[in-house]
A = this chain, B = another copy of it.
Amino acid sequence: MTTPDEVRWLTADQLRAWVGLLSVAELLPAALDSQLRRDAGLTHFDYQVLAMLSEAPGRSLRMTTLAQRTSATLPRLSHVVERLEGRGFVVRTPDPDDARATRAYLAEPGWDTLVAAAPGHVVNARALVIDALTDEQVSQLESITGALLARLDPEDRLARRG
């Protein structure tokens, strides 16, 4: 496990892109959290959990699947779902097919909250990201994030929808 004598530092161009990406990765989640907490009483992660459940057949998913679709660790998801269940937004039941597994169901209050929050969230997503880019840049961004996720998530567990 030796390290090379000479480090390949970043060029000026690479450094600008790197710093830009770090800043976006820092500021975007904060901006999304801020809007959703203010207008809907939800974390952005809460929103993603509810959204993924709402799109799933039977409005229900196994915890592991849900964790993959939200890019989250299982302990984190477990805690969040516990809180959402306490608010009546979600219900957890053991999976009949596999007694180890837990299925999370989107309850009616959770659905209503999501439906109420969605328009504002989309407006925010457009204002901060989509409408700030040209169609070409949106396409480039899709390619770039695809390449990055291949490194960040080698098993490619998430991203595969349906």
Contacts and interface: CB of A to CB of B under 8 A. Distances in A.
Interface string A89-121: 000000000000000000000000000001110
A26 B119 CA distance: 22
Which of A18, A72, A118, A120 has the most B CB atoms < 10 Å from its CB?
A18
Main secondary structure of the interface of A (DSSP, over half): helix
Contact of A149 (B24, B118, B144, B145): B24
Number of copies: 2
B153 A23 contact: yes
Interface in A128-146: 128-130, 132-133, 135, 137-146
A58 to B, nearest CB: 22
Contact of A151 (B48, B127, B153): B127
Contacts of A16: 142
Nearest to A21: B145
B130 A24 contact: no
A18 to B, nearest CB: 6
B13 A148 contact: no
Interface of A: 3, 7-10, 13-14, 16-29, 31, 48, 71-72, 118-120, 122-123, 125-130, 132-133, 135, 137-153, 158-159
Given A8-B126, A14-B130, 12 more contacts: A7-B123, A9-B122, A10-B125, A13-B135, A13-B139, A14-B138, A17-B145, A21-B129, A23-B145, A25-B25, A26-B29, A128-B148
